[in-house]
């Protein structure tokens, strides 16, 4: 059989795809050296940046040149660099930052991406193969990295919170439970948008300790916390439950158990919002962020991204009814509204 001739343009395109890996190495360095923070006050020469970051000037320039060539930061005359909107996504501690998520993905997560062949051949999770423990155990073992990962999730949450609040009417609900609510950013957004609601942030004890410490003063009268494991039970009696980026973390059997526990806690007529990426149910394999997020799941945990039909199957097996899929203006997340009937 004659071997197919490789066209030069596709060799070049594959080379460009590999370039994505090389530029991510530069992004990681910029995040670790806090380059965006140093540039926030104004343009800096490469000499100044090198001194402030304890770096070699020539090597740092090559990294900054590469980043600026793809639009991350801007190079001016005389090897001077300026912060732009793209580079600002690497700022520390601001809404919409991806800095902490970058550091998690390119540090402890990254070896798993390099072991996808292991996953393809065994069906097992590469992260566990590399680190000898699952992701959640790892973050309990290394709480400082767990805290960074939590900040990363918060940074990404800001990307879609406004869409969630603008799209869904939370005003009819008097008590809202955010299952796996973490540091409370989702709950605070809901309560700020509704005047008559109260909320309960539910998560594991070691997470809730920080939630209590960081809770804004204006939320303390309307918001409480509860600790536990959603594989055992969740707080009962609320009329709305929310789960953002929870279901995609787990395999089908684990998801059904979580959803069953929610169903048992919900009174009839109560609703559950599953806020996750949804892979389009179509026959054409077009680009979609959920298809790439699915690789993150496969490399790091037992979870996966799902199509709407796959979500419906889990929801029905848990005893709930799927009401509707609601777009929030970004493909990275959608709302799946469920109800206990």
Classify residue 95 by its DSSP letter: T
Q: Helix count (H) and strand count (E) of the chain?
A: 15, 12
* Residues whose CB falls within 8 Å of the CB of residue 211, separated by 6 or more in sequence, listed in order: 181, 182, 183, 184, 201, 203, 225
Q: How far is CA 314 from CA 74, 230, 260, 289, 338, in A?
A: 47, 16, 10, 22, 11
Residue 83, Cβ density class (10 Å: 0-12 exposed, 13-18 middle, ≥19 buried): buried
| Distance (Å, whole) CA 109 – CA 252 | 22
Give the span between the Cα atoms of 257 and 332, in whole angstroms.
25
Active site (catalytic) residues: 248
């Amino acid at each position: 059989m004659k071997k197919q001739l490789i066209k030069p343009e596709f060799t070049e395109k594959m080379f460009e795809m590999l370039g994505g890996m090389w530029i991510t190495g530069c992004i990681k360095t910029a995040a670790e050296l806090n380059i965006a923070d140093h540039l926030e006050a104004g343009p800096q020469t490469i000499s100044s940046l090198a001194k402030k970051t304890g770096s070699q000037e020539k090597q740092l320039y090559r990294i900054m040149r590469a980043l600026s060539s793809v639009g991350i930061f801007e190079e001016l005359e005389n090897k001077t660099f300026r912060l732009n909107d793209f580079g600002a996504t690497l700022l520390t501690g601001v809404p919409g930052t991806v800095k902490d998520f970058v550091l998690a993905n390119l540090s402890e997560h990254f070896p798993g991406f390099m072991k996808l062949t292991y996953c393809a051949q065994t069906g097992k999770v590469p992260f566990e193969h590399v680190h000898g423990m699952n992701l959640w155990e790892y973050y309990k073992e290394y709480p400082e990295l767990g805290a960074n990962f939590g900040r990363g999730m918060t940074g990404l949450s800001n990307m879609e919170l406004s869409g969630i609040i603008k799209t869904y009417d939370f005003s009819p609900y008097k008590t809202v439970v955010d299952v796996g609510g973490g540091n409370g950013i989702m709950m605070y957004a809901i309560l700020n948008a509704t005047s008559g609601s109260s909320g309960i942030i539910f998560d594991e004890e070691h997470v809730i300790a920080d939630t209590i410490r960081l809770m804004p003063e204006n939320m303390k009268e309307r918001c409480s916390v509860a600790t536990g494991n959603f594989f055992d039970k969740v707080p009962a009696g609320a009329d709305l439950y929310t789960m953002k980026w929870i279901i995609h973390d787990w395999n089908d059997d684990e998801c059904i158990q979580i959803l069953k526990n929610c169903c048992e806690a919900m009174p009839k007529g109560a609703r559950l919002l599953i806020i996750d990426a949804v892979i389009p149910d179509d026959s054409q394999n077009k680009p979609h962020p959920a298809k790439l997020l699915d690789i993150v799941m496969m490399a790091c945990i037992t979870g996966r991204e799902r199509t709407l039909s796959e979500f419906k199957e889990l929801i029905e097996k848990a005893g709930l009814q799927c009401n509707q899929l609601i777009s929030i203006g970004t493909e990275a997340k959608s709302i799946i509204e469920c109800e206990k009937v």
